[in-house]
Amino acid sequence: MSATVPLLPAGFRFGMSTSAFQIEGATDVDGRGPSIWDTFTARAGTVRHGENATVAVDHYHRYAEDVTHVADCGVHDYRFSFAWPRVLPDATTVNPAGLDFYDRLVDRLLAAGVRPVPTLYHWDLPQVLEDAGGWLSRDTAYALADYATVLVERLGDRIRDWITMNEMSVHALYGYALTEHAPGRGLGLAALPAAHHQLLAHGLAVQVLREHSAAAVGVANQHFPVLPASDDVADQMAAALFADLTNWCYSDPILRGEYPNPLIRDGIGTPDAVLDRDLAVIGTPLDFYGVNYYEPTMIESPRAGKDYRGVLEVDIPDGLPFSPVPVPDVARTDFGWAIAPGGLTDILRTLHERYPGMPPVVVTENGASFHDPGPDPTGRIADDRRIAFLDAHLRAVGDAVAAGVDVRGYYVWSAMDNFEWAAGYDERFGLVHVDRTTLERTRKDSWYWLRDVIAAQPAGARS
Ligand code: BGC
- The pLDDT, as a whole number, for residue 384 is 98
Cβ–Cβ under 8 Å, residues 78 and 15:
yes
17 Cβ below 6 A of ligand 1: no
Residue 292: which of 392, 218, 386, 398 has the closest Cα? 218
Rounded distance between C-alpha atoms, residue 441 and residue 414, angstroms:
13
What's residue 199's pLDDT? 99
Using most ligand atoms within 8 A of CB, pick from 18, 59, 421 the residue to mutate for ligand 1. Answer: 421
Nearest by Cα to 429 from 394, 385, 395: 385
Q: Distance between CA atoms of 94 and 85, rounded to whole angstroms?
A: 10
CATH T-level topology, domain 13-456: TIM Barrel (3.20.20)
Q: Taking the complete model, does pTM exceed 0.85, yes or no?
A: yes
So what's the pLDDT on residue 2?
43
| 378 Cα–ligand 1 center, Å | 31
Q: Whose CA is nearest to atom 5 of ligand 1?
A: 420
Can you give the pLDDT at residue 460? 60
Q: Is the CB of 420 under 6 A from ligand 1?
A: yes
The residues near 121 (Cβ < 8 Å, ≥ 6 apart) are: 81, 82, 84, 144, 164, 165, 166, 201
Which element (helix H / strand E) includes 273? helix 272-282
What residues form DSSP beta bridges with 35? 126
Res 218: pLDDT: 98
Question: Is residue 194 within 8 Å of 136, Cβ to Cβ?
Answer: yes
Distance CA 245, CA 323 (A): 13
> Cβ(268)–Cβ(274) under 8 Å?
no
What per-residue confidence (pLDDT) applies to 1? 37
| DSSP 8-state symbol, 247 | I
Confidence (pLDDT) at 320: 81
**Domain coordinates in residue numbering, the chain:** 13-456
Residue 183: is the preceding peptide bond cis (ω within 30°)? Answer: yes
Distance CA 381, CA 374 (A): 7
Q: Whose CA is closest to atom 3 on ligand 1?
A: 420
What is the C-alpha separation between 346 and 327, in angstroms, rounded?
Answer: 16
Ligand 1 neighbourhood includes 365 CB (under 6 angstroms) = yes
Q: How far is CA 200 from the centre of its chain?
A: 18
pLDDT at 463: 43
pLDDT given for residue 209 in this prediction: 98
For 4, counting Cβ atoms within 10 Å of its Cβ (0-12 exposed, 13-18 middle, 19+ buried), the class is exposed
Q: Which of 221, 210, 215, 207 is nearest to 144 (CA)?
A: 207
Pocket of ligand 1 contains residue 166 by CB under 6 Å: yes
Ligand 1 centroid, distance to 413 Cα (angstroms): 8
Q: Which of 23, 413, 419 to mutate to test the pocket of ligand 1 (most atoms within 8 A of CB)?
A: 413
At position 174, the amino acid (one-letter code) is Y
* Distance from C-alpha of 369 to C-alpha of 366, rounded to nearest angstrom: 11
pLDDT of 315 reads 67
Alpha carbons 151 and 83: distance in angstroms, whole number: 11
The answer to whether the CB of 19 is under 6 A from ligand 1 is: yes
Question: CB of 346 closer than 6 A to ligand 1?
Answer: no
Judge if the beta carbon of residue 292 lies within 6 A of ligand 1.
yes
Atom of ligand 1 nearest to the CA of 294: 11
Catalytic residues: 167, 365
Q: How far is the CA of 231 from the centre of ligand 1 (A)?
A: 31
- Mutating to test ligand 1, I would choose from 18, 123, 124, 167 the residue with most ligand atoms within 8 A of its C-beta, which is 167
For residues 416 and 443, what is the distance between their CA atoms, to the nearest angstrom? Answer: 9
For β-strands 216-222 and 226-228, DSSP reports them as unpaired
Residue 212 is predicted with a pLDDT of: 96
Q: Chunked in runs of 10, what are the mean pLDDT values of the chain (463 residues)?
A: 76 98 98 98 98 98 99 98 98 98 98 98 99 98 98 97 98 96 96 98 98 93 98 97 98 98 96 97 98 98 85 72 94 98 98 98 99 96 98 98 98 99 98 98 98 91 45
Dihedral of the alpha carbons of 276, 215, 24, 36, in degrees to the nearest 10? -10
Q: Is the CB of 159 under 6 A from ligand 1?
A: no
Q: Which atom of ligand 1 is nearest to the CA of 420?
A: 10
Cα separation, 59 vs 434, whole angstroms: 11
Helix H or strand E segment including 79:
strand 77-81
Contacts of 122 (CB under 8 A, 6+ apart): 19, 20, 21, 81, 166
